Amino acid sequence: MTEEGSRQTVKVRIAGEEHHLRSAADPEYTRECAAFLDEKIREIRDASGLIENHRAVILAALSLVDEYLQANTELEQLRREVSSRSTNLVRRIEEGLAGLE
């Protein structure tokens, strides 16, 4: 690992291949991301019996994008629910305070 400005080069292994990644992120985080991807590719290969790395990588990427999009949808639903509840709570507090006057 070498430092280049605010970016560092981190050596990782993904799908049996060594890669040198330059990133501004913490090196340990970069390794964690690479390990997560490597595990996802391994799961895809084991479940599907694929031998070709490029196909397993594509399927792993699609699986991760699916998880990401589902998480984003869930996050947006939670944001709307929190916003609605907080608006209702503020309204109830204001009504309660108005009743005290």
Per domain, the residue ranges of the chain are: 3-100
Supply 47's token pair. Answer: 């479940």
Q: What is the pLDDT along the chain (101 residues), one digit of tens a residue?
A: 444 458 999 999 999 999 999 999 999 999 999 999 999 999 999 998 877 889 999 999 999 999 999 999 999 999 999 999 999 999 999 999 988 87
Integer distance in angstroms from the first to the last C-alpha of the chain? 67
The amino acid that residue 76 corresponds to is E
- Whole-prediction pTM: 0.73
Pairing assessment for the beta strands 3-4 and 17-23 based on DSSP bridges? unpaired
